[in-house]
Amino acid sequence: MQTTLIPNVPPGSLDLLAGDVTRRRRVQRTWFMLAEALGYQEVIPPTFEYEEVFTRSGGPELAARLIRFVDRDGRLVALRADFTSAIARMVATRLADHPGPLRLSYAGKVYRQAPEAVGLRREIFQLGAELIGDPSPEADVEALRLVVGVMRELGVGEFQINLGDIRFIRPLLHGLPPDQALALRTAIDRKDRAALAAGAREFGAPAAVARALVELPELIGRGGVLKRARSLASGSEAEDAIERLRQVDALLSDDERRHVVYDLGEIRGLGYYSGIQFEVFVAGVGRAVGYGGRYDGLLAQYGADRPAVGFALETDALADLLRGDES
């Protein structure tokens, strides 16, 4: 009998064996030990959901990267592309009556379309937590503290959390037609000062807004940056952003603050962030190993308006960092 062998896996899919598995499991075990000790309960959202769960929440960037297929009844479903969106949907529908606050943790795969490039997989292991029902700066700090905690437990000593607040940038783009807002967002994202200055001029931005836009790429640093940002803040929303970051700063221990850099010019976050947002960097890794922030409006999209803050870390990147320990 003749059989045809299946020679390979699709691009972006991977078999994990031996050390690649043990290191990922070690990261996950470390994470769940820490999360459980702090009162976080594990949840496992479904592997696929109706695509709206991700298209409505995550913005066009995430929508463009969904892996979709048609369900039996003709509706479009997508593989889980983001834990936070799935958990927000889960909490707003299944746990709507829970008095809160809710502390939830997870670890598993997300699936995203990726262009063929260096190290871009279509299945990515992530881990993370969501703290739902607490709008306070203490809750923001609890999320940051979990990140610091798991990095320490894993023995990653040198890492950096770049922390900003989307409410500082949002008013600068307020009221612009979509194409102009997109042009400025692109310039902010690329830290292109010349394009920001040109855009502000061309779109007739008020002087205070133009000044803040051009300064955005440079608004990075330790506590002193908050003072400079405060002097550039236009309007109460931006002032609230700086006030919240000051409160967070005051709640951090010296040892935690060592890892935090304030970064007001970053708009990388997924579309649903509404307050603080952050990215985590480790020396020698060419991209962020984690991201998080506050997403107060997200649960309302599923019918339960509750504040929330959370983060996701890239388990694959953390596992690769452990390779050094073993040799």
Partner 1 sequence: MSRPLRIALPKGRMMDEALLLFERMGAAIDPAARDTRRLILPSADGRFEFLPVKSGDVPVYVEAGVADAGVAGLDVLEEHGPDVLRPLDLGFGPCRLAVAGPADAAYPRLAGGGIPRVATKYVESARRYFAGRGVQVELVRISGSVELAPLLGLSDWIVDLVQTGRTLAENGLVVLDDISSSTARLIVNRASHKLRLDDHQRLIADLAKALEG
Give the helix ranges, DSSP H, for the chain: 18-37, 52-63, 83-94, 137-153, 166-173, 178-190, 193-202, 207-215, 224-232, 236-251, 254-257, 315-326
Q: How many beta carbons lie within 10 A of that of residue 236, not counting itself?
A: 11
Cα separation, 148 vs 254, in Å, equals 12
**Is 118 near partner 1 (CB under 8 A)?**
yes
Q: Which of 156, 288, 297, 301 binds partner 1 (CB under 8 A)?
A: 288
**Is 156 near partner 1 (CB under 8 A)?**
no
Q: Which of 192, 215, 237, 240 binds partner 1 (CB under 8 A)?
A: 192
Q: Indicate the residue among 194 and 207 with the shorter CB distance to partner 1.
A: 194
Cα separation, 52 vs 272, in Å, equals 14
**Is 181 near partner 1 (CB under 8 A)?**
no
In contact, 299 and 88? CB cutoff 8 Å:
yes
Q: Which of 125, 281, 295, 311 binds partner 1 (CB under 8 A)?
A: 281
**Is 157 near partner 1 (CB under 8 A)?**
no
Residue 119's φ and ψ, nearest 5 degrees, are: 65, 15
Part of the chain binding partner 1 (CB under 8 A), chosen from 29-37, 142-150, 234-242, 283-291: 283-291
Buried/exposed code over 200-216 (b: 16+ C-beta within 10 A; e: otherwise): beebebeeebbebbbbb
**Is 191 near partner 1 (CB under 8 A)?**
yes
**Is 119 near partner 1 (CB under 8 A)?**
yes
Residue given tokens 């943790």 in the structure block: 105
**Is 180 near partner 1 (CB under 8 A)?**
no
**Is 277 near partner 1 (CB under 8 A)?**
no
Tokens (6 digits) for 139? 């809750």
Instruction: Give the number of residues in contact with partner 1, rule: CB under 8 A.
Output: 25
**Is 285 near partner 1 (CB under 8 A)?**
yes
Q: Which of 113, 136, 160, 247 binds partner 1 (CB under 8 A)?
A: 160
**Is 267 near partner 1 (CB under 8 A)?**
no
- CA dihedral sign of residues 117, 123, 124, 130: positive
In contact, 86 and 45? CB cutoff 8 Å:
yes
Q: Indicate the residue among 89 and 259 with the shorter CB distance to partner 1.
A: 259
**Is 170 near partner 1 (CB under 8 A)?**
no
- In angstroms, give the least distance from the CB of 3 to partner 1: 36
Pairing of strands 260-263, 159-165: parallel
Q: Indicate the residue among 208 and 283 with the shorter CB distance to partner 1.
A: 283
Helix (H) or strand (E) holding 108: strand 102-111
Part of the chain binding partner 1 (CB under 8 A), chosen from 115-123, 140-148, 174-182, 201-209: 115-123
Q: Let me know the angle formed at the C-alpha of 112 by 108 and 117, rounded to the nearest 5 degrees.
A: 115
**What mask of x and - would describe binding to partner 1 in positions 208 to 247, judged by CB under 8 A?**
---------xx-xx--------------------------
| Binding region for partner 1 (CB under 8 A) | 115, 117-119, 160, 162, 190-194, 217-218, 220-221, 261, 263, 279, 281, 283-288
